[in-house]
Chains A and B, each alone.
Chain A
Amino acid sequence: MSYIHVDHLQKTFIIRKKRETGRLLREKETVFALRDLSFVIEKGELVGYIGPNGAGKSTTVKILSGILTPDSGNVSVDGRIPWESRREHVRNIGVVFGQRMQLWWDVPILDSYGLLKEIYRIPDADYRQRLKELTEALQLENLLRTPLRQLSLGQRMRAELCGSLLHRPGLLFLDEPTIGLDAVSKLALRDFLRWENREHGTTILLTTHDMEDIAALCSRVMVLGHGQKLYDGDLPALLEKYDTSRTVTVRFEDPETMPALPEEASLSREGDLVKVVYAPGQIPTPEILEKLQQAGTIREMTIQPQNIDVLIAAMYREMDL
């Protein structure tokens, strides 16, 4: 039996809307957050979970963490049904909701950790060791006595992550953990997650809109749209399907050089840079490079794949999301 088993999961919400005419009664509308979602995750996997806003990602995480009860379908995590044996289930999971806070706002973060220690009944020695390990990896040593309200967003996110991992959960749900972080914090956070996954075999389900997160961390990615699973597999294969254009930028010795290229490639000039945009499916990359070399001596050249966000946007469009 797999570690996480999700079978034909369905969840609806009722949205109340104000009528335009300003009457007191409100209209009710049923919205499908999830319809017929199924997947399997093995122990130790680091899975990326993407999809546009409102696709049902957070709802999945909330059901898997035992907070919400689905309308129908089966879920088993480590042999338990999350919402039925909630307290046993949550003992072994850690959750980070990127836009919410679990640590107490007005007290030093060490005090919040102390409370978590009691909640999860972590033995003293284990707590000290784990706290040391986490504070080192997340660079929190100097912040432990600072109240949460005085930390920056990046520091706070690292502190939150530490709080979610103190009890050594075997399964970690991350809901947009890098939201609003600067480049340095993002990189540090990714390094940490890779380390945690490798070192402790923690299974991680990562929900994000940041495709760089996925590319850096996840070997497997699931795409969700309209409450259904649209793709499940590795990221390169997914990108290849939508990776329809490349950009080559060249600087020639002689700035006046204008290469002769097949019609399908578009050619433009920006200062002394020549920019070629082409579809690798139509014209093989070696052919483009050959033509460029024939045109003159090259001083500098870069090949760029399409921006990953543009790719994902194209994919969402094609999937009609």
Chain B
Amino acid sequence: MRSYLSAFRLRRKMELQYRGAMLGGIICQVVFGLILIALYRALYAGKPQTLPLQHVVTYVWLQQAFFRMLLASDPDLLDKIRSGSIAYDLCRPLNLYGFYYARIMAQKITGSLMRAVPMLLFASLLPEGWGISLPASLPALLLSLLALMLGLLCVSALENITMAFTMRTLDPRGIQAMLNLLMMTLSGNILPLTLFPDSWQKVITLLPYAQLLDAPIRLYTGDVPVGEAWRILLIQAVWIAVLIALGVWLWNRHQKRIVLQGG
């Protein structure tokens, strides 16, 4: 266990070094957030929706603040597979799935916290209708934090599955492009899932992508009341179990038939 923790800490330390990337990321995400909010304001001005505008604005800010959690394939890990440096990791007395899981999680937590804290501060200073609003209640906030953690476990498991596939296809770009499209659409990053037609939402919220950020945001805004939070947490837990089991199975399968590139 200590070796996995140690890998986590080292990856966190590495992520903390990229402060320039952090600043660039924050600016990019803030601009994106403002554009999206302007867009929804225009939409609401033309045709008001049943969902309050302030919910949508809060949704957008939270999505942008934690963007790094979604789209952040660890370039180091993928590069290891592409170049064959993974050979070193294969001759360690470790479970590779766990080792990479720890690394992926460290990168996602550190990367998104570094960006989220200043961004949420900024968004809370904006006027009503542009800025983020407070959580629906204290229990709602606590439950959304719990859901965010479960979402993190979920997205790390998803990414580890991408890694396992990369072991087989030897190049991540194809599967990544596909998965990123799914990720951005189905996680609510492009269009808040709360704005999808109700019948669509019934299906989409059951998918793993909705467990990452959509689930915690719905708890934060009170879109899902505290009394029904157990339903969301249960779906998340089921997905975590399924995705980890699938990932471990794929890793074990592919590790046996591995080919190392680059001589």
Complex CA gap A53/B94 in Å reads 31
A184: interface (CB < 8 Å): no
> Do A106 and B17 contact each other (CB < 8 Å), given the known contacts A68-B260, A99-B263, A100-B84?
yes
Instruction: Mark interface residues in A111-138 (1 if CB within 8 Å of B CB, else 0).
Output: 1101101111100000000000000000
Say whether A120 contacts B13, CB under 8 Å.
no
Q: Which residues of chain B in 87-108 are interfacial with respect to chain A, using CB atoms and an 8 Å cutoff?
A: 87-88, 90-94
B162 — which chain A residues lie within 8 A by C-beta?
A: none
Complex CA gap A67/B87 in Å reads 7
Choose, from B1-9, B41-49, B53-61, B223-231, the stretch at the interface: B1-9
Q: From residue B137, how far is it (CB to closest CB) to chain A in Å? A: 41
Q: From residue B23, how far is it (CB to closest CB) to chain A in Å? A: 17
A39: interface (CB < 8 Å): no
Q: From residue A72, how far is it (CB to closest CB) to chain B in Å? A: 15
Complex CA gap A7/B23 in Å reads 57
Q: From residue B253, how far is it (CB to closest CB) to chain A in Å? A: 13
A68 — which chain B residues lie within 8 A by C-beta?
A: 258, 260
> Do A104 and B10 contact each other (CB < 8 Å), given the known contacts A67-B87, A87-B93?
yes
Say whether B93 contacts A91, CB under 8 Å.
yes
A112 — which chain B residues lie within 8 A by C-beta?
A: 10
Complex CA gap A69/B3 in Å reads 26
B127: interface (CB < 8 Å): no
Complex CA gap A65/B87 in Å reads 10
Say whether B13 contacts A87, CB under 8 Å.
no
Residue in A53, A69, A93, A115 whose CB lies within 8 Å of B91: A93
A75 — which chain B residues lie within 8 A by C-beta?
A: none
Q: Which residues of chain B in 61-92 are interfacial with respect to chain A, using CB atoms and an 8 Å cutoff?
A: 76, 83-85, 87-88, 90-92
B88 — which chain A residues lie within 8 A by C-beta?
A: 95, 97, 100-102
A58: interface (CB < 8 Å): yes
Instruction: Mark interface residues in A150-173 (1 if CB within 8 Å of B CB, else 0).
Output: 000000000000000000000000
Say whether A67 contacts B263, CB under 8 Å.
no
Say whether B87 contacts A118, CB under 8 Å.
no
A99 — which chain B residues lie within 8 A by C-beta?
A: 262-263
A231: interface (CB < 8 Å): no
Complex CA gap A104/B85 in Å reads 11
A195: interface (CB < 8 Å): no
B85 — which chain A residues lie within 8 A by C-beta?
A: 97, 100-102
Residue in A93, A100, A104 whose CB lies within 8 Å of B14: A104
A91 — which chain B residues lie within 8 A by C-beta?
A: 93
A273: interface (CB < 8 Å): no
Point out which of B6, B7, B85, B93 has the most chain A C-beta atoms below 10 A from its C-beta: B93
A321: interface (CB < 8 Å): no
B181 — which chain A residues lie within 8 A by C-beta?
A: none
> Do A67 and B90 contact each other (CB < 8 Å), given the known contacts A101-B85, A121-B3?
yes
Residue in B14, B17, B260 whose CB lies within 8 Å of A67: B260
Say whether B87 contacts A97, CB under 8 Å.
yes
- 28 A-B pairs with C-beta separation under 8 A: A13-B259, A53-B263, A62-B87, A66-B91, A67-B258, A69-B256, A88-B93, A90-B91, A90-B92, A93-B91, A99-B262, A101-B85, A101-B88, A102-B88, A104-B10, A105-B76, A107-B14, A107-B17, A111-B10, A111-B13, A114-B10, A118-B2, A118-B5, A118-B6, A118-B7, A119-B3, A119-B6, A119-B93
Give the 7 A-B residue pairs with the shortest CB-CB distance, closest first: A118-B6, A102-B88, A118-B3, A119-B3, A100-B85, A67-B90, A87-B93
Binding site for A on B (CB under 8 A): 2-3, 5-7, 10, 13-14, 17, 76, 83-85, 87-88, 90-94, 256-260, 262-263
